[in-house]
Chain A
Amino acid sequence: MNVTTNTRAQRMNFWEKLYLPEIAKGLALTFKTMFRPKLTRQYPEERWEPLGSYRGRPVLVLEEDGERCVACGLCSRVCPALAIEVQAAETDRDKERYPSKFEINMLRCIYCGLCEEVCPEEAIVMSKDYDIVFHSQEEAIFGKDKLLVPIARLQERLEFLRQYK
């Protein structure tokens, strides 16, 4: 017979078996905790500032003379959730191509960052935005108006990519 006799309950000494001193210890701990600093962040007022490595909402880089994107469509091809739709058009600028339509369905996006990884122009990058809300499905499809973000606000991410990508 495989009987274990040296159980935890048998190794407890008298005071431990009495419960009350141990309960008092526990009570002392919770009482001390009451006066410790709180960990709660008061969210809408106090916001968390993510680091450069954070993968938030994907955005398009907007330079002084227009968007960086050349509408090659690689991001759209690589997107595992099929969230990106790109339509290319011609332009008079040196790049010759630009996206006439660039839409990301934020209900489909899984924030994997593959679009950013595959982009040859560093034109689509993951931003720090994490409070993404909408009231309808139509609203969830972000067009160029919402996607284009000035390059100055994306410096941290671009530096991170240059260092680790």
Chain B
Amino acid sequence: MSSFVVTLIKGAIALNFALVIAAALVYLERRISAWMQYRIGPNRVGPFGLLQPLADVLKLYTKEDVVPYNANRAFHRLAPLISIAVALSILCVITPASYLLLEDGTKLFIAVAPNVNVGFLLILALTSIGVYGITLAGWSSNNKYSLMGGLRSSAQMISYELAMGLAAVAALMLSGSLDMNQIIASQANGRWNIWFQPLGFVIFLVASFAETNRAPFDLPEAEPELVGGYHTEYSGMKFGLFYLAEYANMFTASAVMTTLYLGGYDLPLVPQLLGVQEGTLPRVLLELATFFGKVSVLLFFFIWVRWTLPRFRYDQLMNLGWRVLLPLGLVNIIITGAIVFFVR
């Protein structure tokens, strides 16, 4: 098989997997939020209500697609596509396991696009494009509330991308590479970046909450003042795409944090104890389980925080971004740089 076909197959698997994860996250979000509020949550559709996302999607598909009067139709249609496309395209560099050694001695890498030497830069660049979807959605809707939501979103993303990038720089200095495989390899055997970069991890975590527009930074869709924010004027599956993109973003943000700070698919001691060799199928499965275990912990944390904290005020959001996280990120870089320079 040519490598092109292999990549296509891997891409298809990754896309479908991400969409299933996003659907599952919608269900989990509703269920966990219910538990945190002394409620039960959706439990009627299918066993334990597991088919609820399916019913939701069915409902969205049968909805009328309303486009507001005087809306810019082309951009109105394009915006949700940008959102979902960007959210899903980040998956190509996510490395959930190392490689499988085939019989003829070649390595089958599990990542869709393995060994991209600018892997992490690609992620930062793609997340920046994601803001276009939201801003365009707000602008093209011909609705002042949507526009406000879109503007807020772009301001927020620009503010927090800086802090996020600075936090990432410090972690990347330790790893010495932008390649996702190398980043994980440098954290092998429990030398995870989170132990050396606790401050950087907190900054990155807070910034990724803002990047994914999740509470407590979900100002772009603040219901009380903006009706629904940038997706007020969207209906049917177009709205569904935004919704899906939010959860897909959550998944990719968790995967990136796992890679950068939690050692990716590294699980210290266990492979040695079980005696599974690198490149064998059991090892790959173990790595996948480790990676998605870590990701799901972070995903639960995303949901947990959303149903605990109230939303920030806009000035508080800007204060936190520019006057707290940005200086902290810079200090973190200087300290890390000094230590890397003098110790190694």
Contact = CB atoms under 8 A, between A and B. Distances in A.
Contacts of B34: 40
Interface of B: 32, 34-40, 202, 304-305, 307-309
Given A23-B308, A33-B37, A39-B38, 7 more contacts: A20-B202, A26-B309, A27-B305, A29-B308, A34-B35, A40-B34, A40-B38
A31 B34 CA distance: 12
Contact of B308 (A27, A40, A42): A27
25 contacts: A23-B308, A26-B308, A26-B309, A27-B304, A27-B308, A29-B308, A30-B36, A30-B304, A30-B307, A30-B308, A31-B304, A33-B36, A33-B38, A34-B35, A35-B35, A36-B38, A38-B35, A38-B38, A38-B39, A38-B40, A39-B38, A39-B39, A40-B39, A40-B40, A42-B40
A39 B38 CA distance: 6
A116 to B, nearest CB: 36
Contacts, number: 36
Contacts of B38: 33, 36-40
A39 B40 CA distance: 8
B131 to A, nearest CB: 25
Given A23-B309, A27-B304, A34 B202 contact: no
Contacts of B305: 23, 27
Contacts of A23: 305, 308-309
A70 to B, nearest CB: 48
B322 to A, nearest CB: 16
Contacts of A26: 308-309
Classify chain A's interface size. 10 to 19
**Residue from the set A26, A27, A30, A35 with the largest chain B CB neighbour count within 10 Å:** A30
Contacts of B307: 30
A39 B35 CA distance: 10
Contacts of A29: 308
A3 B286 CA distance: 63
A33 B35 contact: yes
Given A20-B202, A27-B304, A34 B309 contact: no
A95 B190 CA distance: 92
